[in-house]
């Protein structure tokens, strides 16, 4: 299956929307960033709490200088849709995100290794195909 996900070429990063379904079947839409330098995906603790996966966030997490996220746990998300592809039981990091960053998830290589991925900047498209 081949999917095309649109992104804004005028943005500093490749940003797109993803969908996370919680245990009650409710779907939540979050803004995500493509990070080919990250080995694993991260979700903000704030987003995971909003979607019902965390009861509370840790209040004492400090970001290391120069970083915009700080990992502090792991969780398995039962159902996601990333670039139009359904993914079941993806283990992701729970992270504290810098609020000014404006995103709720960072999608890393753990997702993209499953696909042939083409980034077409001239068209603002992420093309993902099952391998």
Residue in the block written with tokens 């900047």: 121
What is the value of pTM for the model shown?
0.88
State which CATH number among 3.10.180.10, 3.20.20.70, 2.40.50.140, 2.40.70.10 fits the domain covering 13-114.
Answer: 2.40.70.10
The string over 15-43, giving b where at least 16 C-beta atoms fall within 10 Å of a residue's C-beta and e elsewhere, is ebbbebbbeeeeebebebbbbeebebbbb
**For residues 105 and 64, what is the distance between their CA atoms, to the nearest angstrom?**
18
pLDDT per residue, tens digit, the chain (131 aa), is 899 999 999 999 999 999 999 989 999 999 999 998 899 999 999 999 999 999 888 777 776 666 667 788 999 999 999 999 999 999 999 998 877 778 899 999 998 899 999 999 999 999 999 88
**Among 29, 33, 45, 11, which residue's Cα sits nearest to residue 105?**
33
């Amino acid at each position: 299956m081949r999917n095309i996900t649109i992104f804004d070429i005028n943005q500093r990063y490749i940003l797109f929307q993803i969908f996370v379904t919680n245990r009650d079947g409710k779907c939540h839409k979050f803004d995500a960033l493509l990070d080919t330098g990250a080995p694993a995906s991260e979700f903000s603790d704030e987003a995971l709490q909003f979607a019902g996966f965390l009861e509370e966030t840790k209040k004492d997490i400090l970001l290391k200088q120069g970083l915009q996220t700080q990992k502090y746990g792991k969780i398995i998300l039962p159902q996601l849709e990333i670039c139009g592809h359904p993914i079941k039981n993806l283990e992701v990091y729970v992270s504290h995100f810098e609020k000014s960053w404006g995103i709720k998830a960072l999608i890393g290589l753990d997702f993209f290794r499953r696909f042939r991925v083409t980034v077409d900047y001239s068209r603002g498209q992420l093309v993902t195909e099952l391998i």
